Structure 1
Amino acid sequence: MARLQIVDPHIHLWDLWTRIYPHFEKPGKGGGNAAIARSYLIEEYLEEGGDEFEIVGAVHVEAFPTDPIKETETLQKVADANPLPLVIVGNGDLTSTNFPALLDRHLQFPIFRGIRQVVNMHPNPERSYVSRDLMGEPQFLEGLRELGRRGLSFDLQLYPHQMETAAALAAKAPDTRIILNHAGMWADRHLSGWKQYKAGLRTLAAQPNIVAKISGLGMLDHKWTTESIRPLVLETLEAFGPGRAMFASNFPVDKLYSDFRTVWRAFSDIVSDATETERNGLFRDNARKFYRIPA
């Protein structure tokens, strides 16, 4: 039987010898991330699929580097040395007056496709990734528009209570493709939080320039099963449709909670009744389209 082909639109490759990922150089508090507090290189990643899944493309998403240009330069060298089609979503601050100049430098590298700037804020400070409301700053919208003017995309990582704000910004930057990360990160796991999440997904999906990446589900459900993630996958697909969504592994981060083949088997099981075209889109073709990855 032929292996299922995957273009994986959310991975992280980090080489600690670059010294741009100090947060991965030692285990965090309690040692919970010990399994990934080490270099994770393309050779290891390509072994994850075994003889069951054929990886035919991938997107490295910025891993909070201290030097964004060095990260892109390093990944360009990785891409040049390997046959796997590999592109990068780099790091950058949309609110910076130097953002256009930063894009100029990223664009020196052919694999560069766009920017991710994490905007997650939460009433519980321990769940916040940033210390200020980035989307509330006027320059953030200008940064989004600048990406669109250059044919670049924006990877959006946020929480459900921020989705309405993000949708309003997307409407004001219609030429910028915005890619929702990790199925919207349903963090508040109670009934009202679920209702907010469902409504937020549909508010985002109402903007035609937003697409969804279904990934990273283990980050908020450490003991996940196919059945525990099924509602999130199906809600995302119902909101965006199979033509505007894609599956991703979020490896090696989700390696903390499962293994690569189990993740992709779960996705395959959940959409087992989809058409061949829909499945090909979710597992391979949509990622190629949205991130402009050569076949």
Structure 2
Amino acid sequence: MTGKISVKIGETETEKQILFAVNEDWLALRREEPIEPEMPITDPHHHLWDRGSRYLLEELKADIDGSGHNVIATGFVQCDSMYRADGDPKFAPIGETEFVNGIAAMSASGLYGPARLCASIVSYADLFLGPEVDAVLEAHLNAGGDRFKGVRQCSVWDADSTIKSTPMDFPKGLLLDAKFRSGFARLQRYGLSFDSWIYHHQIPELADLAQKFPDTTVVIDHIGAPLGIGAYAFRRDDVFAEWRKNIQELGKNPNAYVKLGGMGMHVFGYDFEKRSAPPGSQELAEIWRPYVETCIEAFGPERAMFESNFPVDKRYYSYGVMWNAFKRLAAGYSQSEKEALFRGSARRAYRLN
């Protein structure tokens, strides 16, 4: 058993549409002035790639600058980008860390503005290698230095095979697999965190992992994706109830963090991209409020962080509108709680200066 079944990124036209389709003209139909533009933000979750569409330093910088929000740092998260084409396949993901660390070095020069892009790097290592994954983790650390913070494992699975959020297919129960956990156990010795992309009914698997490894920071991406398509269409209330119970159990683990974002993705079932114009921040805040408030209640502001998930979520709304929605959602929290949600939690989870 391995962590994933290899399928080329964007192998089918449907997969390309899911991953890459961004309509800049459509996004331009919705413009908003930034709310609280001086508030410092660390965006802990975005991607970079050049495959069918381009999203590199210039594109990320354009979204940040055009938003009017005070993004002071960002974090890159694994997306199978720029893997090495040659050599031992288990070291192929080192190419992603090398690539992103180069972007981070460009940003750290100050020539591209004050924001420190890719201040943290989360890449991929096949934890099914068990103790042998040490060599891969050490190679990531050599390639990324202090910026390399952890590993992400996508393990999205559902009995409804029509539900797809990645070109890769993953086995059921991956996070429970003993061989996977033997590799996961190696993260602690290097002080590395673990990001997880799963669906709502899989959250108990991550909760069990967090409980069994209390000294390893575990981050659930995109609020644990309460599904709204396929077999879950028209069942939003039932899904919410199951998701809420699961997210509350995960939040009981003090080493677990939650990322508040990614909620535009097609698996959530809102179909924002099918509208004649993008949604505004007020509507997004109203739709997302029950989910965001449930997460903050379960984890506390000190273990919850707003994230962009760009350019994936760029299919559904602009960077500026998204951060306005997050600021509307945070309006009722204290200044210290806002600092945690927009900056502090990400700084703690990924050990940022």
TM bucket (normalised to shorter chain) is 0.7 to 0.9
Instruction: Identify the range of structure 1 (224-233 vs 240-249) with the bigger mean alpha-carbon deviation.
Output: 224-233
Q: TM-score, normalised by structure 2?
A: 0.74
Residue 124 of structure 2 corresponds to residue 91 of structure 1: yes
Give the secondary-structure state (helix, strand or coil) at the position aligned to 1:59: strand
| Pick aligned residue for 2:345 from 278, 286, 294 | 286
1:81-120 map, 5 Å: 81-83=106-108, 84=116, 86-97=119-130, 98-108=132-142, 109-110=144-145, 111-120=147-156
Give the alignment's Cα RMSD to 1 decimal.
1.7
CA distance in 2, matches of 1:190, 1:257: 20
CA distance in 1, matches of 2:79, 2:181: 23
CA distance in 2, matches of 1:4, 1:13: 25
Give the secondary-structure state (helix, strand or coil) at the position aligned to 2:75: strand
* Structure 2 partner of 1:20: none
1:182-261 map, 5 Å: 182-187=222-227, 188=232, 189-219=235-265, 220=268, 221-223=270-272, 225-261=284-320
CA distance in 1, matches of 2:48, 2:79: 8
Alignment check: 8 A CA contact 1:144 1:176 kept: no
1:125-136 map, 5 Å: 125-127=161-163, 129=166, 130-133=169-172, 134-136=174-176
Q: Deviations over 1:27-64 (max 9, x none)?
A: xxxxxxxxxxx111122212223362111111100112
Matched AA of 2:139: R
CA distance in 2, matches of 1:205, 1:155: 15
| Pick aligned residue for 2:216 from 176, 179, 186 | 176
Greater Cα radius of gyration, structure 1 or 2: 2
Structure 1 unaligned regions, length at least 5: 17-23, 26-37
Matched AA of 2:137: L
* Structure 2 partner of 1:72: 97
Moved beyond 3 Å, runs of 4+: none
Alignment check: 8 A CA contact 2:151 2:193 kept: yes
Instruction: Identify the range of structure 1 (78-87 vs 210-219) with the bigger mean alpha-carbon deviation.
Output: 78-87
Instruction: Identify the range of structure 1 (68-77 vs 180-189) with the bigger mean alpha-carbon deviation.
Output: 180-189
* Structure 1 partner of 2:324: 265
Q: TM-score, normalised by structure 1?
A: 0.88
Give the secondary-structure state (helix, strand or coil) at the position aligned to 1:246: strand
Matched AA of 1:47: A
Alignment check: 8 A CA contact 1:135 1:141 kept: yes
* Structure 1 partner of 2:61: 46
Give the secondary-structure state (helix, strand or coil) at the position aligned to 1:233: helix
CA distance in 2, matches of 1:137, 1:94: 10
Instruction: Identify the range of structure 1 (160-169 vs 122-131) with the bigger mean alpha-carbon deviation.
Output: 122-131
CA distance in 2, matches of 1:222, 1:245: 26
Q: Residue 2 of structure 1: CA displacement?
A: 5.3
Alignment check: 8 A CA contact 1:242 1:278 kept: yes
Matched AA of 1:89: V
Give the secondary-structure state (helix, strand or coil) at the position aligned to 2:129: coil
Alignment check: 8 A CA contact 1:8 1:57 kept: yes
Instruction: Identify the range of structure 1 (265-274 vs 45-54) with the bigger mean alpha-carbon deviation.
Output: 45-54
Give the secondary-structure state (helix, strand or coil) at the position aligned to 1:251: coil
Structure 2 unaligned regions, length at least 5: 1-35, 84-91, 109-115, 273-278
Alignment check: 8 A CA contact 1:11 1:249 kept: yes
Alignment check: 8 A CA contact 1:154 1:179 kept: yes
Alignment check: 8 A CA contact 1:147 1:176 kept: yes
